[in-house]
């Protein structure tokens, strides 16, 4: 993997989410998302899968689409907050809280802004099943990471949060990565059964 491989990966992810936002068929968009990500993980030079895990790779562990887990929520004001999170490749990355998204039946999620070059929104989530057998990745998952292309968009001033598109950070697949993980304001008591599941419980 080199810098050009990473650029190509990012281009493909941006194009994928553009296709997701452009369709009104959420289930069809989710199928495309799953299929494209399986291809990237299995075949792209910049895949976060470790070499030993690429052999016999049969696809990412993603639950079937459930429309009940798609929300469009306004971002409410919240007290200013800042966190500095260490990452494997970008050093310490500062985040500033833009506000809070109150998701019905799930709880509130802090909405963060990258407080460095490029800006962007970041919304991770850690649910009640995190780290449990058959559950989600212990460090939480990402709903939005717009700097890297994971952007479900806005509709009528509301942020689209579709938990079917929650995905694991790269460190879930390769411990060499150090990823920003969900903070207390992005940890909820609800069990979220959709989106990408923990790779530890999946036969790769």
CA distances from 74 to 101, 102, 119, 155, 159 (A): 6, 8, 20, 10, 6
pLDDT > 70 in the chain, percent: 96
pLDDT in tens, 48-69: 999 888 888 999 999 999 999 9
3-34: pLDDT as tens digits: 999 999 999 999 999 999 999 999 999 999 99
User: Average pLDDT, stretch 85-104?
Assistant: 85
* pLDDT value of residue 121: 95
Q: Is-contact 119 96, C-beta < 8 A?
A: no
pTM of the model: 0.93
Q: Write down the mean pLDDT value for the chain.
A: 92
């Amino acid at each position: 993997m080199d810098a050009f491989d990473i650029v190509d990966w990012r281009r493909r992810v941006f194009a994928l989410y553009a296709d997701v936002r452009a369709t009104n068929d959420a289930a069809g968009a989710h199928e495309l998302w799953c299929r494209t990500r399986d291809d990237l993980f299995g075949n792209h030079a910049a895949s976060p899968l470790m070499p030993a895990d690429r052999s016999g790779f049969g696809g990412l562990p993603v639950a079937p689409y459930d429309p009940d887990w798609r929300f469009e929520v306004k971002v409410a004001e919240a007290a200013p907050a800042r966190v500095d999170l260490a990452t494997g490749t970008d050093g310490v990355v500062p985040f500033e809280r833009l506000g809070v998204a109150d998701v019905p039946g799930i709880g509130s999620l802090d909405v963060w802004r990258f407080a460095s070059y490029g800006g962007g929104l970041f919304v991770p989530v850690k649910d009640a099943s995190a780290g449990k057998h058959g559950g989600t990745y212990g460090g939480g998952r990402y709903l939005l990471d717009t700097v890297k292309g994971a952007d479900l968009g806005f509709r009528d001033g509301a942020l689209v949060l579709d938990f079917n598109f929650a995905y694991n950070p790269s460190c879930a697949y390769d411990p060499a990565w150090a990823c920003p993980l969900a903070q207390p304001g992005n940890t909820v008591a609800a069990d979220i059964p959709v989106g990408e599941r923990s790779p530890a419980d999946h036969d790769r």
